[in-house]
């Protein structure tokens, strides 16, 4: 059986952070991901600038809550980064820079019969209104993976909807309008945008719920998000430090890890 050729991709605009924050938190995450990739015979690629820069606020005609244009645009640039390498591999994984690999978990599941499926994490829904709307499944793009074909397809889709408004489907327009006029959608992030693609391609999408407050009973014991990191996480897993209190949660995790090490010694 031929072994799949796989790669891990990360990217980050380093100049947007102070040196202290980068050294206190981010550098540990990047090193852990690179070590994990090497341990699992995967190539590792890191990008620190866009291949083709653009500003999503101008293209979408929206006022983002996330005022840091560099950081906001970089969340869209990840698609051009993974697509630039996809011809070289069977499967490409994207892992956000605020994700720490604790131990050596197995690679996220890839079914060889479903290589053209798009896989990503999930930790919430969009516009979920009790007694009115069940909302739509919102992807969490901190970890995603797929074949070269599907990653190129999604990158091409992003470019179409960003640069050509006539390519935007009804759900895309609805979510964009909700982000501008209500609190049901806080900001029009690439995850919110991709919700529209997933809705039309649900038969080719596999969402893997993070263990998090919204999904406390799922069986994804290889990936934890946000608050659940400090409540339920296990070794040999991916820990996504989402939100704005990354350094604080990182320090709490270090204390928790030290505690586990101590009690294991008896």
Q: In this structure, are residues 120 and 45 in contact, taking their beta carbons and an 8 Å threshold? A: no
Per DSSP (E only), the strands in 24-173 are 43-47, 91-95, 99-102, 118-126, 136-146
CB 173 within 8 A of CB 166: no
Give me the pLDDT at residue 2, please: 72
CA dihedral 21, 226, 28, 23 (to 10 degrees): 0
Closest CA to 193 of 210, 173, 208: 173
Residues 145, 22, 84, 9: is their CA dihedral positive or negative? negative
Q: Is residue 194 part of a domain?
A: yes
Domain count, the chain: 1
Classify residue 164: in a domain, yes or no: yes
Q: Which residues of the chain have pLDDT under 70?
A: 1, 14-19, 64-69, 111-114, 127-134, 182-184, 212-220, 227-228, 266
In a domain, 1, yes or no: no
d(CA 199, CA 134): 13
**Is residue 69 a part of any domain in this protein?**
yes
Reading the block at residue 39, the tokens are 């341990």
Q: Residue 173: which domain range?
A: 6-264
215: β partners:
212
218 in any annotated domain: yes
CB 78 within 8 A of CB 189: no
Q: How far is CA 239 from CA 51, 194, 225, 234, 255, in A?
A: 28, 23, 6, 9, 15
Query: Model confidence over 208-237: pLDDT tens digits?
Result: 888 766 666 666 678 888 766 777 788 999
Report pLDDT for 131: 44
Q: Can you give the CATH number for the domain in which 150 is found?
A: 3.90.550.10
| Residues with Cβ within 8 Å of residue 70, at least 6 apart in sequence | 13, 15, 16
**Which pLDDT does position 99 carry in this prediction?**
96
Are the C-beta atoms of 5 and 57 separated by less than 8 Å?
A: no
């Amino acid at each position: 059986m031929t072994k799949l050729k796989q790669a891990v991709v990360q990217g980050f605009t380093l100049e947007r952070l102070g040196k202290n924050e980068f050294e206190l938190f981010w550098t540990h995450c990047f090193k852990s991901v690179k070590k994990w990739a090497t341990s699992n015979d995967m190539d590792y690629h890191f990008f620190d600038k866009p291949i083709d820069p653009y500003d999503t606020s101008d293209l979408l005609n929206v006022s983002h809550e996330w005022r840091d244009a560099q950081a906001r645009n970089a969340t869209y640039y990840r698609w051009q980064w993974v697509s630039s390498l996809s011809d070289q591999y069977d499967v490409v994984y994207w892992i956000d820079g605020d994700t720490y690999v604790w131990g050596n978990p197995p690679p996220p599941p890839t079914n060889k019969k479903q290589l053209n499926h798009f896989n990503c994490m999930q930790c919430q829904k969009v516009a979920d209104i009790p007694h009115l709307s069940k909302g739509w499944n919102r992807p969490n793009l901190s970890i995603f993976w797929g074949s070269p074909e599907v990653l190129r397809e999604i990158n091409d889709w992003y470019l179409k909807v960003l640069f050509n408004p006539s390519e935007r489907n009804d759900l895309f327009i609805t979510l964009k309008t909700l982000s501008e006029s209500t609190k049901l959608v806080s900001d029009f992030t690439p995850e919110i945008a991709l919700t529209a693609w997933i809705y039309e391609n649900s038969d080719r999408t596999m969402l893997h719920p993070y263990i998090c407050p919204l999904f406390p009973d799922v069986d994804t014991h290889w990936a934890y998000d946000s608050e659940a990191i400090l409540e339920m996480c296990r070794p040999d897993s991916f820990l996504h430090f989402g939100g704005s209190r990354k350094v604080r949660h990182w320090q709490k995790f270090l204390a928790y890890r030290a505690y586990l090490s101590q009690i294991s010694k008896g």
